[in-house]
Amino acid sequence: MKIYIIIAIIVLLLIAVIRNIKVVPQAHAFVVERLGAYYKTWGTGLHMKIPFIDRISKKVSLKEQVVDFPPQPVITRDNVTMQIDTVVYFEITDPKLYTYGVERPLSAIENLTATTLRNIIGDLELDSTLTSRDTINDKIRIILDEATDAWGIRVIRVELKNILPPREIQDAMEKQMKAERERRARILDAEGEKRSQILVAEGLKESAILKADAVKESKIREAEGEAQAIRAVQQAHADALKMLNEAAPSDKVIALKSLESLEKVAEGKATKIFIPSELQGLATMATTVKDVFATDTPNAE
């Protein structure tokens, strides 16, 4: 009988020992109290607690946690009431402070987020609220992180999930956005038309410049041709005179050349011709010869 009692006692002790062996998983911590007072924080691994003396007060997750708070009514500086819901990302850095620092930590964070959001939005107008999300997020995160530091919580980031203004404000904003898009479209059309006209004007300008250059080049070449022709004629006269000088012509030859020149002069529109005295004899003789030939020509017919 005694043996059975001893065996029962041993079994009970083994059961008690096994039940008081605790394994703390990864990224978790256990806050342990001894006789009702904080004793220690168990980290990851195998731990043994004393039955009826030690008690696990709280099991804490050290992972990053996400809390999505419901929409909160806030009023902007220009008296527009909006519904804004926030998402808070945080992690527990001190399990002891998290356990004993504040009652219901998540509720405390929610209320603190709501009051902080109202204070920040109350200093902004509607347009600034809609365009300053990053600034608002940073301000809320800094304030929450400072306030929750005493609770063993580190706020990693805060995001404004939705900003919902009243329906009439949304309609007005949609109309404003539509008008803005139409204005931008008109500006783009005007800029395109302006650019098109500029290109056409530049094309006409370049065409006129090319035409003027072509006319200029044509006149230059025509003038150069005329100049070359004049130079050729003058050169021919000069060569002829040079040849006459080299041939040493007699006075009669010179007089005959003078008569040829007078003949060319007489073909013009001049009404009076003055003949030098030394050429008058030759001119008379030339006229007589011409008359003789003119008289004999009908008889030959």
- For residue 201, pLDDT over 70 is answered with yes
pLDDT digits (tens, 9 = 90+) for 23-66: 999 999 999 999 889 999 999 999 988 888 889 999 999 999 99
Q: To the nearest whole number, what is the mean pLDDT of the chain?
A: 80
- In whole angstroms, give the CA distance from residue 222 to residue 117: 88
- In whole angstroms, give the CA distance from residue 295 to residue 9: 182
pLDDT at 232: 82
- In whole angstroms, give the CA distance from residue 209 to residue 288: 65
pLDDT digits (tens, 9 = 90+) for 161-181: 888 887 887 777 778 778 888
Looking at residue 198, its amino acid is I
pLDDT at 293: 43
Choose the weakest-confidence range: 79-83, 138-142, 245-249: 245-249
pLDDT digits (tens, 9 = 90+) for 90-122: 999 999 999 998 888 889 999 999 999 999 988
Q: Predicted confidence band at 20 (pLDDT cuts at 50, 70, 90)?
A: confident
DSSP string for 204-270: HHHHHHHHHHHHHHHHHHHHHHHHHHHHHHHHHHHHHHHHHHHH---HHHHHHHHHHHHHHHHTSS-
Q: Average pLDDT in the 214-240 region?
A: 83
CATH architecture of 65-165: 2-Layer Sandwich (3.30)
Name the residue with higher pLDDT: 297 or 71: 71
pLDDT digits (tens, 9 = 90+) for 67-90: 998 888 888 888 888 889 899 999
Residues of the chain with CATH 3.30.479.30: 65-165
- For residue 277, pLDDT over 70 is answered with no
- For residue 152, pLDDT over 80 is answered with yes
Is the four-CA dihedral 114, 117, 121, 126 of positive or negative sign?
negative
Element (H, E) at 21: strand 21-24
This prediction has a pTM of: 0.56
- For residue 301, pLDDT over 80 is answered with no
- In whole angstroms, give the CA distance from residue 286 to residue 283: 5
